[in-house]
Amino acid sequence: MIFTALVIVLFLLIYWYSTRTFNYWKVRGIQYVKPVPFFGTSFKTLTQQESPAMEGARIYKDFPNEKVVGAFVGTQPELIIRDPEIMKRILVTDFNNFYARGFIPHKTSIEPLLRNLFFAEGDIWRLIRQRFTPAFSSGKLKAMFPLIVKKAKNLQLLTADIINRDYYDARELMARYTTDFIGECGFGINMETLSQENSQFRALGKRIFYRSYRDTFTAAVKLIFPELCKKLHFLSPELEKTMRYLFNAVLSERNYKPSGRNDFIDLMLELKEKGNMVGESIEKKNKDGSPETVSLEWSDSLMMAQMFVFFGAGFETSSTASSYTLHQLAFNPECQENVQDEIDQVLEKYGGEITYEAIKEMTYLEMCFYEAMRMFPSVAFLTRKCTAKNYTFPEINLTIDEDVVIIIPIKAIHMDENYFREPAKFDPERFSFGAKEDIKNFVYLPFGEGPRACVGARLGQMQSMAGVAAILQKYSVESAECSVQVPLPDPAGTVAEGIVGGLPLKFKIRDR
């Protein structure tokens, strides 16, 4: 009897623990998705049946009349935002109450590789961001453009080798191009991903965005039991080991000093020589309300984390955007013809050479790029975390607590017919001069918005457009027998969207 009673009590305690927060949205009068014990509303995500972006889009569509919708990741309350004005408040107006990215569970130590510009929270993020912003100025971008041209020419040579195939995965093709560029631009390394299909750096890039069953299980346990799994890492040990080896190899080759290459590694080494980063805190206040002055050591561990995100985000987002642009142009040949006519006309002014100025003049190509990013944004959702003790949204008179996670489902918003007429149609004219000004604020967010918007957005766009221009200057793309006009998102996707089966296309020499 005593044993039975203990089992019952233990069961009730476990059940209470796994459901203790599930009245959070009900008592606040907010419509919400009904949760299940332990998993909350993220059972499919935590069991790799759908990606976080797919989950956000599903909830967005299921509550068409709500401005916000309640949900839970494990037992942690999260809020899905459907209203552009509330998005603006979170991303810009009241940013100081939502500066945290929100990927790291409450009271959980952040692992070394995630102490980077994308994942870091609070003062670490702010100090790094302030130092990195100048590295992506227009002047710096123009100075590195010859390197983009070099890799774009190599891309043309690679495309010549695949024109006789029945199909080739455009996403893989563009990933090899962007990986090669990021390798040389960022680290001064010829990664040879364009010349070697099975390059070790391409394999590393794939592993960063591949969600194995180990990764899925670890993430689920960490999110469901954050207090008990503080030291459990999201990233696999093999990934950390590989990045540490790459980091040490690059820095030792330079004797841990700037080399004069003016690449990303040089930037970090120059920052290290300047000593600790010092600036105003976003987290701490003096007694008079002014921000405290905080300091951060520019350690090897911190540098390695920035190298990790620069490599991963640098190639993945651009390859997705550029390959999906090619994919849509293959299914919309009249748009492709317009792009090619523009490429011919512009490049004629520059002696047939792709230059920084030439890409800036390719306005129709830019329109196609923006439209492709609308239909399939590289990062399909944004997350933020409430950093205020209590915060009230005046639009809906809703007060939430500190650490509530905010989800902004970008892809779902981009495909909402309330904001974009015939959203499933590829229509570059949405972004023509005059028409793009009519797009409602905060409903087109491919690069995010506000202080945490993508710092490398312009670099990503320029390398993407240069890659597409290089291919369409000499070749055309068509759908293959196995091509799918509306590709399926990969349920195993993480921060960046994956695509089931890739983007197979047929490449052929242009008919002049």
- 8-64 pLDDT, tens digit each: 777 778 777 888 899 999 999 999 999 999 899 999 988 889 998 999 999 999 999
Q: What is the structure's pLDDT at 448?
A: 94
Residue 19: is it exposed, middle or buried by C-beta count within 10 angstroms (0-12/13-18/19+)? middle
Q: For tokens 């955007």, what's the residue?
A: 321
Q: Quick check: 195 pLDDT over 90?
A: no
Residue 63: how many other CB atoms lie within 10 Å: 16
Q: Is the pLDDT of residue 202 over 70?
A: no
- The span from the CA of 380 to the CA of 372, in Å, is 13
Check residue 155 and give its pLDDT.
Answer: 94
CB atoms within 10 A of CB 397: 9
For position 81, what pLDDT does the model report?
98
Mean pLDDT of the 401-427 span: 96
Model confidence, pTM: 0.90
Query: Which region among 128-142, 317-331, 477-491 has the lowest average model confidence (pLDDT)?
Result: 128-142
Q: What is the mean pLDDT of residues 327-344?
A: 98
Provide the token pair at 12.
């009730």
Q: Is 121 helix (H, G, I), strand (E, B) or coil?
A: coil
Task: Give pLDDT, residue 340.
Answer: 98
Predicted local distance difference test score (pLDDT) of residue 259: 84
pLDDT tens-digit map of 211-229:
677 777 777 676 776 666 6
CB 112 within 8 A of CB 301: yes
Are the CB atoms for 339 and 367 separated by under 8 Å? no
- Locate tokens 């190509």: which residue? 365
- Residue 254 in this model has a pLDDT that exceeds 60: yes
pLDDT tops 80 at residue 1: no
- HSE at residue 133, side-chain half, CA atoms within 13 A, is 8
* Sign, CA torsion 128/130/133/139: negative
Burial class (CB in 10 A: 0-12, 13-18, 19+), 457: middle
What is the per-residue pLDDT for 496?
77
Annotated binding site for heme: 454
Strand locations in 20-128 (E): 68-73, 76-81
Given a cut of 80, is residue 147 above it in pLDDT? yes
Domain boundaries, the chain: 2-509
Res 181: pLDDT: 86
Quote the pLDDT of residue 208: 66
> In this structure, which topology does domain 2-509 adopt according to CATH?
Cytochrome p450 (1.10.630)
User: For residue 122, what are the contacts with CB-CB under 8 A and spacing of at least 6?
Assistant: 99, 100, 282, 283, 387
Inter-CA distances, 426 with 69, 73, 322, 371, 486, Å? 29, 34, 15, 7, 11
Residues annotated as binding site? 454
How far apart are the C-alpha atoms of 350 and 325, rounded to whole Å?
Answer: 24
